[in-house]
Amino acid sequence: MNRKELLRRLPKIDEVLKEESLVVLAEESSPLLVTEAVREVIGDIRSRILGLSEDGLAEFSVEILEPGRVAEAAARRLAEDEKLNLYPVINATGTILHTNLGRAPLCEDAVENVGRVSRGYSTLEYNVEKGMRGSRHDLVGELIAELTGAEDAMVVNNNAAATMIVLAALGRGKEIIVSRGELVEIGGAFRIPDIMAQSGAFLQEVGTSNKTKISDYENAIMTDEILEDYDFFEMDPRHTERFRTGALMKVHKSNYDIVGFTEEVELEELVELGRKYKLPVIFDMGNGLMLDMSEYGLREPNVPASLATGIDVILFSGDKLLGGPQAGIICGKKKYISKMKKHPLARAMRVDKMTFAALEATLAKYKDPKIALRDIPILNMIAASEDDMKERAERLAEEIRKVNSKLALELVRVEDQIGGGSAPMVRLPGWAVSVADGKRSADSIERRLRKAEVPVIARISDDRLLLCVRTIAENELATVAAAFR
Ligand SMILES: *Cc1c(COP(=O)(O)O)cnc(C)c1O
């Protein structure tokens, strides 16, 4: 057929819009968007015809021009346009706090509370009893105090923001003493020395990469009292130039470990030193672990135990091992927390009602550690037993077999990780389903799984495609299987 004839046969927009499927779609969504989709599809076909070679013209299938086919293409395009950029995927990597996949999944009650609170108006800054303005800082302050032993708490956007405001409030124009073994970089642009510079505090590094002693901290401290003790004539001129110490700071080595000939100062010793010189002691703890999880192989500091040392200020993320929404939680002594609440940066870093809704519901679980372990997804994943995971892997293999009997499936042992820059040395023994397809490489299966309706993000190890079940929820098994159809 020649080009002119094909162009003549292109259906009219109105003609396509009469197709039953589109009439329904237009009623359900929007006549404007349906018409637009049809116009675009017809436009595309026209351009294609105009670009065809002689051979192409001879091979062109005229069915594409039927109104029914154009309507189908328009419906597909509409569905694609409606898809948002942020949508769920299934994490089959076995890495629990996968930063790229949104760190901690929320517990059911947190999700429900976000819906309840954000659908309408709420008590975000309103005290219902008194009928007057309230403060969003009070929403979770008492609960955090009850759970951790802190005097007061404050919530900001994330732990990077928490670090920034703590340093700005307690250290601006002064020195903050940090061990050289703890000058952490946490992915992206978060580096302790850089945040320090932004906050207006001065970093005073002490010790070495592998060893820092309490005397290293003490030798670096400079206070007005120390300066007074110097006899004018023997005064070391360096000391008159020096800034005063604002605080002592410990940073948790969240995403690395130093092994071999090492020494670091424990929180208790640092707290004692702070007392002696009346200096606040800050702990950037990072992960926000609220319970002792050492029986599950996780030997990390936790919030209540750290506060029990008498530390003045501790800060951590809401979406790491706490298992809640993205947030930075600062807690400790009231006199320091009040300073931060009044700091001009507090407004720039304040969080939304959705965060408070999710955070309060998550924190409430910790009133009973058993409930936290049962209901908070990431704690659940950490505590999952090998037997449970083997069973889940068996069920997943069964589901996959139901939809595709040609694949070679095998249950294999794997080592899962905490992820999210937390507990890098911990390996959790788990189970996975290894999937092989005679014709295809692991890479090619992995790509296809990412294109499923609900994308499945798998792990590839030694050229094998692995579906690690630790991070796949029970109610996601059938969805994972459906991706193999
Ligand atoms: C993760 C982490 C941060 C950054 O926290 P975000 O919530 O990701 O901003 C800061 N310090 C430490 C020690 C951390 O582990």
Ligand 1 midpoint to CA 191 (Å): 10
**pLDDT at position 342:** 96
One-letter amino acid identity for 116? R
For each of the chain's 485 residues, which pLDDT tens digit applies?
Answer: 789 999 999 999 999 999 999 999 999 889 999 999 999 999 999 999 999 998 888 888 889 999 999 999 999 999 888 889 999 999 999 999 999 999 999 999 999 999 999 999 999 999 999 999 999 999 999 999 999 999 999 999 999 999 999 999 999 999 999 999 999 998 777 899 999 999 999 999 999 999 999 999 999 999 888 877 776 666 665 566 668 999 999 999 988 888 899 999 999 999 999 999 999 999 999 999 999 999 999 999 999 999 999 999 999 999 999 999 999 999 999 999 999 999 999 999 999 999 999 999 999 999 999 999 999 999 999 999 999 999 999 999 999 999 999 999 999 999 999 998 888 889 999 999 999 998 899 999 999 999 999 999 999 998 899 999 999 999 999 999 999 98
Helix/strand/coil percent split, the chain, to 5 = 50, 20, 35
Atom of ligand 1 minimally distant from the CA of 160: 9
For the chain, what is the largest distance between any 2 Cα atoms, rounded to a whole number of angstroms? Answer: 105
Q: How many residues comprise the chain?
A: 485
Asked if residue 157 has its Cβ within 6 Å of ligand 1, the reply is no
Mutate to test the pocket of ligand 1, among 99, 158, 159 (most ligand atoms within 8 A of CB): 159
Reference 440, options 483, 408, 480; nearest CA is 408
CB 153 within 8 A of CB 331: yes
Which residue has the least CA distance to atom 5 on ligand 1? Answer: 159
State residue 236's pLDDT score. Answer: 64
Q: Is 332 left (phi over 0), alpha (psi -120 to 50) or beta?
A: left
- C-alpha 160, offset from chain centre: 13
Ligand 1, atom 14: closest residue by C-alpha:
286
Q: How far is the CA of 335 from the centre of ligand 1 (A)?
A: 24
Phi and psi of 292, rounded to 5°?
Answer: -80, 115
pLDDT at residue 411, as a whole number: 98
Q: Which atom of ligand 1 is nearest to the CA of 328?
A: 7
Specify the pLDDT at position 242: 66
The domain spans of the chain are 3-82, 90-97+380-482, 108-372
DSSP SS3 for 206:
strand
- Residue 54 host element (H or E): helix 54-59
Q: What is the DSSP string of 218-238?
A: HHH---HHHHHHS-GGG--HH
Q: Which helix (H) or strand (E) holds 416?
A: strand 408-416
> Tokens 């372990």 identify what position?
373
Per the CB < 8 A criterion, the answer to whether 318 and 327 are in contact is: yes
Task: Kindly provide the b/e burial profile for residues 442-452, where b requires at least 16 CB atoms within 10 angstroms of the residue's own CB.
Answer: beebbeebeeb
Query: What pLDDT does residue 233 have?
Result: 61
Structure tokens, 477? 């098994």
Q: Is 184 in the pocket of ligand 1 (CB under 6 A)?
A: yes
Burial (CB < 10 A; 0-12, 13-18, 19+), residue 25, is buried
Atom of ligand 1 nearest to the CA of 327: 7
Atom of ligand 1 nearest to the CA of 420: 1
Distance CA 393, CA 471 (A): 11
Nearest to 147 by CA among 266, 314, 319: 314
Say whether 272 sits in a helix, a strand or coil: helix
User: The tokens of 109 are what?
Assistant: 């009650």
Pick the CATH number of 90-97+380-482 from 3.40.50.1010, 3.90.1150.180, 1.10.10.10, 3.10.350.10: 3.90.1150.180
Residue 361, SS3 per DSSP: helix
Residue nearest to atom 12 of ligand 1 (CA): 286
Alpha-carbon distances, residue 306 vs 114, 252, 268 (angstroms): 30, 11, 9
Q: Which CATH class is domain 108-372?
A: alpha beta
